[in-house]
Structure 1
């Protein structure tokens, strides 16, 4: 009971993540909310952030100011930690199989929190796996009116009912306070493009831009140093492709906000860094050298006014977004972002016993499939015999089935563009087994 003149207790919010982009998203999303108690748990998986990646991910948030609010934890200790801490809200911040695996752990709690999840950046087209693996969450957060529509339509098509809420993308907050810089900043992506020839072409474009004006830098912004891992496994890395680059072409591992502080403009194929740049007042080129394709995830930039060619990059012809496109894509009125209001409503419902638990159902394939799923997320951190056996027996089967589904459900570019969502498997192909048997799904 709250007595007159007294304050209601602060809601306790715990974000749980592992990979760099998800940790950054969760830290900044939770940091948007005032008047709460917050903590960030980093789960030991093959994708878990290094200390340097952690620091870059939380830079500019209250987590950076209070390092004690961040803890590293083994997967087997999560249930005990949550049972003792008893948070009101848990934000699950990881790739889709990570979210489902953590959902099973939350199902073991006597006092169940409200479970929130989402994807850590632009998510057009809305992908089937991104929604299906989060169907047990009480709320899924997306970041534009367009994404709300796309995921709602996808849910109806799949028969999957997940409440969708709109939040301002945590990196879309205006920040530019200085005059324009002089750097051309390229936001590299691990899987986009995936074709080696296209990645070599991008490297050549960046080299040409550096040669065109030796007085100004070309900065290739990378998310992981040698030996570190990202949410996705990079192929044909730019450090190797640009070994013989001019002296004014440099690599940066700094937080994106720091790189943008000295930027004249940003170049990318489809990185969410474009939104962060626009919010900072930095103009952008969304490189359309290879067209608009599902596997490039660049359909979102159609009609944005940001698409540009290799010549535009070399000549540094950056541009700002079309106003109508911006309003529908990540730069909506802040008053439309009601995700936290929805979270508070769900917390009140759960306290009254009026919010049923959304339980993660047993997988098809039973215990062996569940063991494989755990092994794929945790890698060598899963020390169970069942996990090791499942990794050996099930991985070849899953690899074959994934390839078969991708061939059977191949969609044309016009269909993907028309719908803004995809019923087919993710167009981004990534090995099922990577390094220490990390997760196989894309989002």
Structure 2
């Protein structure tokens, strides 16, 4: 009897660790799954790791922390057939380059851990060397495939049910909490985040008998996938005395939803997790709809509502016709494991052609700079320190030149605004969306 196919996930940040653990933890039968938590400046704490594993299906004894120097030797020792590169784009680019030199080279699979609409060029470009890109809805697969063709960046895409919505839409017992899913980057401006905090305070005051739970991604001092400038605990503290039924939680999302009447967010993937449990949602429309807010797919679901709806707890269920194309397709349509298995067979037959990295300027020095920038102190090589010494002032100079050019030609920066209409032209959404290659979590 042949051994099970061996898949090893490599992840570092909170959202990617949660996603990777749940994705591979659901594999049964012919797959042997493990997770390596890579030490980077943004790596999860022990508490975050424990929370991420809750309900994932992956036992804690299948999870190991590794340093950069230990990564490739560990993958060799484990005999990985497939490596799931679960990380931010810049990290995946560095990891793929390193793993591509392994002999034999494992099949490299990658993906995004949540809502990934709109598809962006950066998301594909960073993952060019990977053999398979996992997405979570038929719409995402269509949009990413179309963009890859448009940008002439060929890629294979595979469909997987979003792990956090794996059971489809299941009605369950409703709690009484209004759960707010906080995000680090959406909305981005302090004034907007303070406005959200005030809405939550008003919702708590409106019904003292029911809780408003601000569900955070990390406790103070812990890292997140995306840097957070203005945390909700800090913002709430500026509002004066708070009602006792307004509370903050760093427990798992599954724990928070277990007592939820409804969920409020701007665009977090927690909305999909809530829908999967039959819990209604409000996607706050205060800041509009657009790729920079990563909320277009929730708008299409009919989940948008305003601040007064949050205070009154007028939650929404998605339009039924939206479900099948967006995260709630029949799990029988999932094909990512079938595609990965075919790639393993192709590798064994010597037919898996290595994928070249995206061509860029800078050569070896740029490769070293990129590695140092994502690994920080974990990259202890002399080359890394040299690249840092050269790269930091060089990058600062480039940014200064670009800023100077923008100041000189303000019409270029604001030329997208149509005179008299107040609209952005069609090119603007793509430019804004490229700032969010990781989507929302």
Name the TM-score, length of structure 1 as normaliser: 0.89
Match of 1:324 among 315, 321, 325: 321
Is the Cα–Cα contact under 8 Å of residues 176 and 261 in structure 1 kept in the other structure? no
Q: What is the Cα deviation at residue 351 of structure 1?
A: 1.0
Q: 1:76-122, CA deviations, whole angstroms, 9 ceiling, x for partnerless residues?
A: 12111112222111100000011111111112211111110001100
Q: What is the Cα deviation at residue 293 of structure 1?
A: 2.5
Q: 1:233-284, CA deviations, whole angstroms, 9 ceiling, x for partnerless residues?
A: 0011100111242110001111101100000000000000000000011100
Counterpart of 1:333? 330
Structure 1 residues 47 and 413, CA, compared in 2 at 3 Å: closer, same or farther?
farther
Unaligned 5+ runs, structure 2: 407-411, 417-422
The reply to whether residue 393 of structure 1 matches residue 390 of structure 2 is yes
Match of 1:40 among 35, 40, 50: 35
Counterpart of 1:157? 150
Q: What is the Cα deviation at residue 362 of structure 1?
A: 6.8
The reply to whether residue 257 of structure 1 matches residue 265 of structure 2 is no
The reply to whether residue 88 of structure 1 matches residue 88 of structure 2 is no
Is the Cα–Cα contact under 8 Å of residues 41 and 71 in structure 1 kept in the other structure? yes
- Structure 1 residues 291-370: aligned runs within 5 Å: 291-360=288-357, 363-370=360-367
The reply to whether residue 427 of structure 1 matches residue 435 of structure 2 is yes
Match of 1:186 among 168, 171, 180: 180
Structure 1 residues 273 and 51, CA, compared in 2 at 3 Å: closer, same or farther?
same
Counterpart of 1:286? 283
Unaligned 5+ runs, structure 1: 1-6, 429-440
Structure 1 residues 262 and 413, CA, compared in 2 at 3 Å: closer, same or farther?
farther
Is the Cα–Cα contact under 8 Å of residues 181 and 261 in structure 1 kept in the other structure? yes
Match of 2:98 among 70, 80, 105: 105
- Structure 1 residues 131-150: aligned runs within 5 Å: 131-150=124-143
> Partners in 2 of 1:291 and 1:197 — Cα distance?
15
Q: 1:342-376, CA deviations, whole angstroms, 9 ceiling, x for partnerless residues?
A: 11111111111111122436742122211210111
Aligned residues: 420
Counterpart of 1:78? 71
Is the Cα–Cα contact under 8 Å of residues 12 and 42 in structure 2 kept in the other structure? yes
Q: What is the Cα deviation at residue 59 of structure 1?
A: 0.9
What secondary structure sits across from 1:79 in the alignment? helix
For the aligned residue pairs, the C-alpha RMSD in angstroms reads: 2.3
Counterpart of 1:204? 198
Counterpart of 1:415? 426
Name the TM-score, length of structure 2 as normaliser: 0.90
> Partners in 2 of 1:409 and 1:24 — Cα distance?
38
Counterpart of 1:169? 162
Is the Cα–Cα contact under 8 Å of residues 118 and 433 in structure 2 kept in the other structure? no
Is the Cα–Cα contact under 8 Å of residues 409 and 425 in structure 1 kept in the other structure? no
Counterpart of 2:51? 56
Is the Cα–Cα contact under 8 Å of residues 191 and 234 in structure 1 kept in the other structure? yes
